[in-house]
Amino acid sequence: MTNPWGGNQPTPLFPARREAQQGGTTREKAAIRCRTVFLSDTHIGSRGCKAARLLAFLGRIECDTLYLVGDILDVWALRRKWFWPSEHGKVVRRILRLAREGMRVVFIPGNHDEVFRCLSGLRFKGIEIRREHLHRCRDGRRMLVCHGDEYDPVQKHAPWLSALGGVLYEWLLRLSTALMRLMRLAGLRERSLSAGLKRIIKRFVSGARSYPERLAAEARRRGLQGVICGHTHRAEIRMIDGVLYCNDGDWVESCTALCETHAGELKLLRGDDSGEQWPGPREFRKAA
């Protein structure tokens, strides 16, 4: 199969699915068929949530298990000011529908929806709630699945600073969105101000050992082959001292998810601004 994007970019993983004609044109959408999908940091209930793109993504996945890896509902933001447009409700209803139709859905609360951690071990409308989970890939690799905030030194030792950072991040996100629009109009390469500043601050306060290294060390201590998490809003797959570190990103800026193919490979997915291309060519990375 040839690569429609050219160059050295990977060939699309999922076959195209033809949709009904609308207005005399036929659109092609990719059916995301895989064994497992991991997504986190959707922040439903906050102004930053890309609910329309998330809803389109959920409408295309065909998998056995869906992991919701924390910060799915932004309870922090909802406590400050109630924000619940119709698209956010549609996302929640779509997830409940997937569980009702037989898809296994596992919810692992994060720091923004930690109020649900007390329900760990219970099942709500077909959704399993877990503090963390051990996922076994098709090829036998055992992966720790957790949101990851418990391994963030800022969240663990200075929760007040993390809460303050959440408020500042929302304002930075609004400013970043406006700047990116200006860059787009000027023909410049878009760069996220909020994401860049967040990484710099996290690196400064976390000390010598970074967040990914802490999680990889925990997986190694438990005798596992890897870890799958969220929390930092930075999607990536890389090896850290023999442990596979996978972060599935977010649905505030990057709009990414992690998937496990039926062969056991772990890959990152990203859509374009219209949400039409899955996987996206720019941020598609495969585990070694």
Specify whether the CB–CB gap between 9 and 281 falls below 8 A. Answer: yes
pTM of structure: 0.74
pLDDT at 274: 39
User: What long-range pairs does 151-156 form, CB within 8 A, spacing at least 24?
Assistant: 151/211, 151/214, 151/215, 151/218, 152/202, 152/206, 152/211, 152/214, 152/231, 153/205, 153/206, 153/207, 153/214, 154/202, 154/205, 154/206, 155/111
- Residue ranges in the chain assigned as alpha helix (H): 51-58, 75-80, 86-100, 153-157, 159-186, 193-205, 211-221
Which residues of the chain fall short of a pLDDT of 50?
1-28, 204-208, 272-288
Query: For the segment 15-56, what is each residue's pLDDT rounded down to a tens digit?
Result: 444 443 444 433 446 688 999 999 999 999 998 899 999 999
Cβ proximity of 113 and 71 under 8 Å: yes
Q: What is the chain's length?
A: 288
As a whole number of angstroms, the distance between CA 254 and CA 266 comes to 18
pLDDT at 70: 96
Structural domains in the chain, CATH included, are: 31-270 (3.60.21.10)
The whole-number pLDDT of residue 27 equals 40
pLDDT of 248 reads 96
| pLDDT score at 190 | 53
pLDDT reported for residue 25? 36
- Residue 3: predicted pLDDT: 34
Q: What is the pLDDT of residue 197?
A: 53
- pLDDT at residue 156 in the model: 58
